[in-house]
Amino acid sequence: MYAIVEDSGSQIKVQTGDVIDVDRRDLADGAKTITFDRVLALKSGDGPATLGTPYVDGASVTAEIIEERLDVKIDVIKFKRRKGYKRKKGHRQKMLRVRIGELGGKKKTAKKTASKKKTTKKTDAE
């Protein structure tokens, strides 16, 4: 069972129990879980995967927040040759480390439509 979720412009393939890093977001105080509701594909069991257009209706993935951490440092260097100009700056992105919990969603059900009766208008010409 796996799902492909979209988060911060990237697509991530997740399974139950996976530990992944996602971009930090503002959460309510004391929040312990995140719900990813932009699910692009969902596969459960032996059947074919359910693909969304663009998202699977009613599907969601819940994850438990483990910690808030900083990603690896990225060096940003500006340089112009023969001008004596050099600048070096570092950046560390704030990330959330989460453990994927429940994958799931609602199955699509066929809607029953009521048959409409045709009404005929009587005209004065008849």
Q: For each of the chain's 126 residues, which pLDDT tens digit applies?
A: 899 999 989 999 999 999 999 999 888 888 899 999 999 999 988 889 899 999 999 999 999 999 999 999 999 999 999 999 999 999 999 999 999 998 886 544 444 455 555 666 666 665
Structural domain boundaries in the chain: 2-104
Look up residue 111 and give its DSSP letter: P
The radius of gyration computed from the CA coordinates of the chain, to the nearest angstrom, equals 25
The CA–CA distances, whole Å, from 126 to 89, 117, 119 equal 88, 22, 16
